[in-house]
Chain A
Amino acid sequence: MQAALIVYRKELVEILRDRRTLMAIGLAALATPLVLFVISQVATKTATQTYTVGYSGDIPPQLSTLLTATSLKLVPVVDPATAAKQQVDLGAAFLPGEIDEYYDPSRQGAQIASVRLETVAGQYAAAQAAAALQSLHIDPGILTPLKLVAHPLSSPVKAASNAFLSFFLPYILITMIITGGFSAALDTSAGERERRTLESLLLTPAPRSRLLLGKIGAITTISLMAAVAAIGSMFLALSQISTPGAGGSSLHISLNPAALPVMVWLALLIAVSFSAVTLAIGTLAKSFRQGQAYVTPLYFVTILPASIILFIPDFNPTLAYYLIPILNAVLVLRDAIVHNSVGWAAIAVTTVSLIATGALSWYVALRLFTREALLTKS
């Protein structure tokens, strides 16, 4: 075990002196806050932006006031339908007892203006109807014989926050763990071969399994550092940035308590197992560049199923899905974030799957590391 520790310490020192690794960790820390900042700016701009409505006909004065208060700028035009194609976000022809609306659904601004107009027009119509009934001494409640009262079991703001986290967090965690360790893994395997230092290492009496263990330990540490940098900076950014939520509320995002230990456990498992995977692949390569060509497809192959699942809302997987490495981690983490609960069976299957992946990769890496071709073909 002493030899593994010696290798671990040396690899960490060398990796941390490598600009490529430091850049990977630095980018991991900076990328997420930058993305979140851009998202929040766009969301804020979209929520507060004034959209133009080109109209014809006479607008009732109260409705005009309501529309202007909802950040809809009213501009008189001759033909609202033509204007909606080029000049304005939305065209509206105000006719007696009717509003004809013209908009292009492929334009986001037109969609938002349409929602605002429909909301305001609905409120105006309801208020007018209620006033007419009251003038006739009739209870306006007659208009709503069946009243629907919603009782959300969690805060809609929290639900939106969870939806956001369940999409971004697993993706960032897994991407950073896998890619954060790539450079380190290649440096300690293919890089060692390329620099012709491998022979001197293998000439020491230390068993090769211990040498490999030290290398895997160092790659795991670097992967976790990248993940911690990315997630830490993400939460730091989220604490500083708020995005507009529904009904004018401000959306502050926080993690459910159950998600944190699950995230830590998964991060450890993925880091260890994928360190062994990338080291095995790096051992096959004769140079750092060749190693990059080998490991890049690995990233896409592992992240692709998870990426697809993230786009399917309310995907209910059977336990068999948890056997697929990486996808299982995404599913478990998503459950913990959204439902604040831990599915023990799912966690157990995921753990077994990731440990088996790591053990198999470790075995392959050891076989590759002890083959003669490692030296004779370098």
Chain B
Amino acid sequence: MTAAVAVERLEKTLGTTRVLRGISFDAQAGEIFGLLGPNGAGKTTTLRVICTLLAPDAGTVEVMGFGTRSAPEQVRSRIGVVTADIGVYPRLSARENLEYIARLHGLSGAELSRRIDSVIERLDMGSFSKQRAESLSSGQKQKVAIARAIVHDPEVLMLDEPTSNLDVLASKEVREFMVEAKGRGKCVIFSTHVMHDAERLCDRLTILHRGQVVASGPTAEVRGSRRDLEDAFLELVGEK
């Protein structure tokens, strides 16, 4: 089976820091793939290279068969990204935020309205879709950010610490969304340092430490005989 996302010997230096040192992994459609690691391990940089915001110094990345160097626009149209920084346009309404990004993804006319209505309903945003984003709560803004990432119905979803600024209820909704997306056959890449979330949600995962892969495989396999994934993680990064 062709991987939805295939990363091969990826290297990246930012400034004078070698952030990624030849990492490789692949993520499949219909699974939640965890990208774990402590702060500074290279998770965000990896995701940014995958979504073409950064160019790799060496190695290759393919998304749904398209290379990030050779077909960056094809890659961007097949991915949706949600980050911890919930950046929404404050003077646009929630719906206008979605419309703007959807139009830039090439949607228009009846198809545009249908997609936006569908996403608003799916994420239960009807009560605040016409409100300006500046007046929304953090949880509501995160929903707008998620809706914006999926409005063009991408095959690959990447979530970078999506719950780090959210309360318990909003975090639960984000987790439920990931499970639902997996059920729709999407490839969900979930970057986090919350081991409990990763253990519950991820089918397979890769643990990064100082820009290198220290473990990779099905979640149960990586955990092995340890008490939980956190113990495994601490052992793998040399803290136990």
Which among A198, A199, A205 is the interface contact of B106 at CB below 8 angstroms? Answer: A205
Contact A195-B87, Cβ < 8 Å, known A203-B76, A203-B81: yes
CB-CB under 8 A from A205, the residues of chain B are 73-74, 76-77, 104-106
Q: Beyond A10-B100, A199-B81, is A204–B89 a contact (Cβ under 8 Å)?
A: no
Asked if A6 is an interface residue, CB under 8 A from chain B, the answer is: yes
B81: nearest chain-A partner, CB-CB? A203
Nearest CB in chain B to that of A5: its residue: B103
Using A205-B76, A205-B77 as known contacts, say yes or no to A375 and B104 having CB atoms under 8 A apart: no
Q: Give the contacting residue for A10; candidates B92, B105, B148; CB below 8 A.
A: B92
Complex contact B100–A6 (CB within 8 A): yes
Query: In whole angstroms, how far apart are the Cα atoms of A196 and B141 in the complex?
Result: 12
> Which 5 pairs from chain A and chain B are nearest by CB?
A196-B87, A204-B104, A197-B87, A17-B91, A196-B85
Taking CB atoms, residues of chain B closer than 8 Å to A14 are: 89, 91-92
Complexed CA–CA distance, A106 and B100 (Å): 63
Are A200 and B148 in contact, CB atoms less than 8 angstroms apart? yes
Residue A95 at the chain B interface, CB threshold 8 Å: no
B85 and A203 within 8 A (CB): no
* Set of chain B residues within 8 Å of A199, measured between Cβ atoms: 53, 81, 83, 85, 87
Given contacts A376-B14, A376-B54, contact A201 B91 (CB under 8 A): no
Instruction: Give chain A nearest CB distance to B158 CB in angstroms.
Output: 10
Which residues of A approach B to under 8 Å, CB–CB?
3, 6-7, 10, 13-14, 17-18, 195-207, 372, 375-376
A372 to chain B, nearest CB (A): 5
Of the candidates A7, A13, A196, A375, the one whose C-beta lies within 8 Å of that of B53 is A375
Say whether B51 faces chain A, with CB atoms less than 8 Å apart.
Answer: yes
B90 — nearest CB in chain A belongs to which residue?
A195
Nearest residue (CB) in A for B84 is A196
In the bound assembly, the distance between CA atoms of A372 and B54 in angstroms comes to 6
Chain A residues near B87: list those with CB within 8 A: 195-200
A-B contact pairs, 25 of them (CB 8 A): A6-B100, A6-B103, A7-B104, A10-B96, A13-B91, A13-B96, A14-B89, A18-B91, A195-B87, A195-B90, A196-B86, A199-B83, A200-B81, A200-B149, A203-B51, A203-B53, A203-B81, A204-B76, A205-B74, A206-B104, A372-B14, A372-B54, A375-B53, A375-B54, A376-B54
Which residue of the partner chain B has the closest CB to A204?
A: B104
- Say how far A191's CB is from chain B's closest CB, in angstroms: 10
**In the bound complex, how far is the Cα of B83 from the Cα of A202, in angstroms?**
14
Residues of chain B touching chain A, judged by Cβ–Cβ distance below 8 Å, are 14, 48, 51, 53-55, 73-74, 76-77, 79, 81, 83, 85-92, 96, 100-101, 103-106, 145, 148-149
Q: CB distance B53 to A202 under 8 Å?
A: yes
Report the bound CA distance from A14 to B104 in whole Å.
Answer: 16
Task: Kindly provide the distance from the CB of B48 to the nearest chain A CB, expressed in whole angstroms.
Answer: 7
How far apart sit A204 and B76, CA to CA, in the bound complex (Å)?
A: 6
Q: Contacts of A18 on B, CB cut-off 8 Å?
A: 91
Q: Are A204 and B91 in contact (CB under 8 A)?
A: no
Q: Could you say which residues of chain B place their CB within 8 Å of the CB of A13?
A: 91-92, 96
A2 to B89, CA, bound (A): 20
A197 touches B51 (CB 8 A): no
Partner of A6, one of B53, B90, B104: B104
User: How far apart are A147's CB and chain B's nearest CB, in angstroms?
Assistant: 72
Q: Which of B54, B74, B89, B105 contacts A197 (CB 8 A)?
A: B89
What CA separation (Å) do A195 and B90 show in the bound complex? 8
B88 touches A204 (CB 8 A): no
Chain A residues whose CB sits within 8 angstroms of the CB of B86 once the complex forms: 196
Report the separation of the CA atoms of residues A14 and B96 in the bound assembly, to the nearest whole angstrom. 10
CA distance A202 to B104 in the complex (A): 10
Bound-complex Cα distance A202 to B86 (A):
15
Check B104–A3 contact: CB distance below 8 A. yes
Q: Is the CB of A197 within 8 A of B88?
A: yes
Find chain A residues with CB under 8 A from B76 CB. 203-205
Complex Cα gap A204–B101 (Å): 7
* Further pairs besides A10-B89, A14-B92: 17, Cβ < 8 Å: A6-B100, A10-B100, A14-B89, A17-B91, A18-B91, A196-B87, A197-B87, A199-B81, A200-B87, A200-B148, A201-B101, A203-B51, A204-B101, A205-B104, A205-B105, A206-B104, A375-B54
- Give the residues in chain B near A206, CB-CB below 8 Å: 104
Closest to A17 in B: B91
B154: nearest residue on chain A (CB-CB)?
A203
A203 to B77, CA, bound (A): 8
Q: Which of A195, A201, A376 contacts B104 (CB 8 A)?
A: A201
CA distance A207 to B76 in the complex (A): 11
**Smallest Cβ-Cβ distance to B45: which chain A residue:** A376
